[in-house]
């Protein structure tokens, strides 16, 4: 059975970076868990990660990323690149089905199993089954509202939950100051 899970969204707005995710884990056509926590703070709360995909695979990647952060504590892009290289070349890791969004005070990064480390141009990044819906909503809210970064993430994820059946409204949001 294929597992579907999550929508993760992160934005930078008004000097704040916010990342949020829903809590739904679905296996087949059943909701297995409604309150999973898919957002984690690392490195003394200086880095926030969010993951989408197979839960066990995501936790394996999260552990490896945390180890890379310890090797390169003040260089999140380097830690991400080193993980991506390992992910792409390691036979066991290549089979993992997960993606990660990673933010710190300066960087917004997407890490994929293809070895990609991508920084979005507009600092709006969504992953998971409802990621594109959340990104579209966030971009519209950034352009046409006075909401805070946290409020934009929460609202955009709520909109995505109304469209994507693998996303719920049990939303958790974390924030960091930029710079």
Query: Which residues are annotated as catalytic?
Result: 6
Tokens of residue 132, six digits: 């594109």
Contacts of the segment 64-72: beta carbons below 8 A, 24+ positions apart: 64/93, 65/100, 65/102, 65/111, 66/42, 69/42, 69/43
What residues does 48 pair with on adjacent strands? Answer: 41, 103
């Amino acid at each position: 059975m294929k597992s579907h899970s999550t929508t993760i969204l992160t934005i930078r707005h008004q000097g704040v970076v916010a990342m949020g995710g829903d809590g739904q884990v679905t296996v087949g056509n059943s909701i297995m868990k409604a309150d999973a926590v898919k957002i984690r703070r690392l490195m003394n709360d200086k880095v926030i990660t969010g993951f989408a995909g197979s839960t066990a695979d995501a936790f394996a990647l999260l552990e490896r990323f945390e180890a890379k952060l310890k090797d390169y504590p003040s260089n999140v892009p380097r830690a991400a690149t080193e993980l991506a290289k390992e992910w792409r070349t390691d036979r066991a890791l290549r089979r993992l089905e997960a993606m990660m969004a990673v933010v710190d005070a300066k960087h917004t990064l997407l890490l994929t199993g293809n070895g990609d480390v991508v920084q979005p141009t507009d600092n709006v990044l969504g992953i998971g089954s409802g990621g594109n819906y959340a990104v579209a909503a966030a971009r519209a809210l950034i352009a046409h509202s006075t909401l805070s970064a946290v409020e934009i993430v929460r609202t955009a994820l709520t909109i995505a939950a109304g469209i994507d059946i693998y996303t719920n409204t049990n939303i958790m949001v974390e924030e960091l100051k930029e710079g």
